Amino acid sequence: MLTTLSIRPVTPEQTYSLRHSVLWPDKSPAYIKVENDTEGYHFGGFRQDELIAVISLFVADEVVNPGGAWIGRARFRKFAVHPDYQHQGIGTLLLNHVIAEAKRLGAASLWCDARMDAADFYQRFGMKAVSEVFYKGPIPYARFSRTL
C-alpha cells in the first residue's frame, strides 16, 4: 500500500506524460510545459520504478506591498496522480512533501490555481480561495493560498 510509495526529485521532462494524460489529454503535448520549468523543483511519486504522480514547485521572491520586504512565495503546479492510484492518499503525501520543501526553501506562503473539483482536497491543507472562480477552457478554477 502507501508504504511502497517513494517520493523523489524528477526532471521536468519526466512529469510531462502524467501532466498530459491526467490534466490536459485533449491538448497538444506541448501545452503542459511551463515556461520556467527549468527553475522549478519537480517531484515524482514512485511505486517500485513506476512514476504514478507528479507535482512541480516554484519559488519566487516578491514584494508584498510598496516599500515592503521581499518574501518568498511558493507556487505548486501541474499536480497529477494517475487515475488508477487516486483517492489512496498519494496526493496527500506529495502535497505534504511540497509544503515541507517550500518551507525549507524559505517561502512564507504557498499558492496554486486549483481546479474547483479539488477545492475540498486543498482546504484540508489549510488553503483558502483568494480569488473569484475563473476558467481555463471549460474547467473552473480559483486561486488558493495559505501561509507557511
Ligand X SMILES: CC(C)(COP(=O)(O)OP(=O)(O)OC[C@H]1O[C@@H](n2cnc3c(N)ncnc32)[C@H](O)[C@@H]1OP(=O)(O)O)[C@@H](O)C(=O)NCCC(=O)NCCS
For the bound state, the minimum distance from the C-beta of residue 7 to ligand X, rounded and expressed in Å, comes to 12
Upper half-sphere CA count for residue 86 (Cβ side, 13 Å):
9
- Residues forming beta bridges with residue 81, ordered by sequence position: 53
Residue burial 3-23, b: 16+ Cβ < 10 Å; e: rest: eebebeebebeebbebbbebb
Q: How far is the CB of 69 from ligand X (least distance, A)?
A: 30
Which residues on neighbouring strands pair with residue 111, listed in sequence order? Answer: 75, 145
121 is a contact residue toward ligand X (CB under 6 A): yes
17 scored as a contact of ligand X (CB under 6 A): no
The reply on whether position 92 binds ligand X by CB under 6 A is yes
For 7, the grid coordinates are 517520493
Which one of 87, 135, 137, 138 is in contact with ligand X (CB under 6 A)?
87
Which of 91, 101, 107, 127 binds ligand X (CB under 6 A)? It is 91
Nearest to 148 by CA among 93, 97, 101, 103: 103
* Residue 75 Cβ vs ligand X, minimum distance, rounded to whole Å: 12
3-state secondary structure of 103: helix
Beta carbon nearer to ligand X, 23 or 148: 23
Q: Is 22 in the site for ligand X (CB under 6 A)?
A: yes
Of 14, 17, 21, 88, which lies in the binding site for ligand X, with binding defined by CB under 6 A?
88
Task: Identify the residue among 10, 74, 80, 110 touching ligand X (CB under 6 A).
Answer: 80
Residue owning grid cell 496527500: 92
Contact positions toward ligand X, by CB under 6 A?
Answer: 22-23, 79-81, 86-92, 114-115, 117-118, 120-121
